[in-house]
Amino acid sequence: MLENDFGLILASSSPRRIELLKRLEVQFTVIPFTIDESHIDYVEGESPYEYSEALAISKCMDVANKYPNSFVIGADTTVELEGLGRLGKPKDEEDAFNILKSLSGKQHNVITGICIYSPITKKIKSDYDISLITFKTLSDDVIKKYIATGEPMDKAGAYAIQGIGKQLVSEHKGSLSNVVGFPLALVYMMLCDCGFMSSVRFIDI
């Protein structure tokens, strides 16, 4: 290995992304990004899809600039509800309540932007995945009890489909790992395209 070459770096401290990347059975190092994503604003006319991809690029390059001899993965997940645009992580319990109330009984998109930097080409590849989620109609009491668990507070859209939040969901279409925050099939294909992985095998999405 070259100096400062960690092979593969995940530019995220998210336990969910760490656990999902382990499913690919590859060695990697966790080095979280240091940019303040809350200060990155929409570009006028930018869609939630473009925003998540752009933020994934920013996270990836924040780490890749420090470790240019390593492959680096950056990711960003957001929830998009028609008419309300991008729904990120709740600021507080009141915000979590309002987000969940807005999702109640409706369909929404979960979008994860992925960016991978390759030390071979010194270039990046970026893309995004989309899953469609349908929520049950939720009473105020159900929403308040869910918020009291603390689970919604660090999740885009204020819920975790892999946790207690699955009880709020009536249907999902698309990659489940994307809803959790790390679309495995897309990540695997991009790692192959970047030259990090070469063998083709089944990926549980």
Transcribe 37-104 into DSSP letters.
Answer: GGG-PPPTT--HHHHHHHHHHHHHHHHHTT-TTSEEEEEEEEEEETTTEEE-S-SSHHHHHHHHHHHT
pLDDT score recorded for residue 2: 44
Catalytic annotation on 129? no
32-88 pLDDT, tens digit each:
999 876 655 555 566 888 889 999 999 999 999 999 999 999 999 988 887 666 788
In this prediction the pTM is 0.86
Quote the tokens at residue 143: 């929403």
Supply the DSSP string of 92-129, one letter for each residue: SHHHHHHHHHHHTT-EEEEEEEEEEEETTTTEEEEEEE
Catalytic residue selected from 36, 62, 76, 127? 76
pLDDT score recorded for residue 1: 44
Domain covering 8-88+108-131+173-193: architecture: Alpha-Beta Complex (3.90)
Q: What percent of the chain has pLDDT over 70?
A: 87
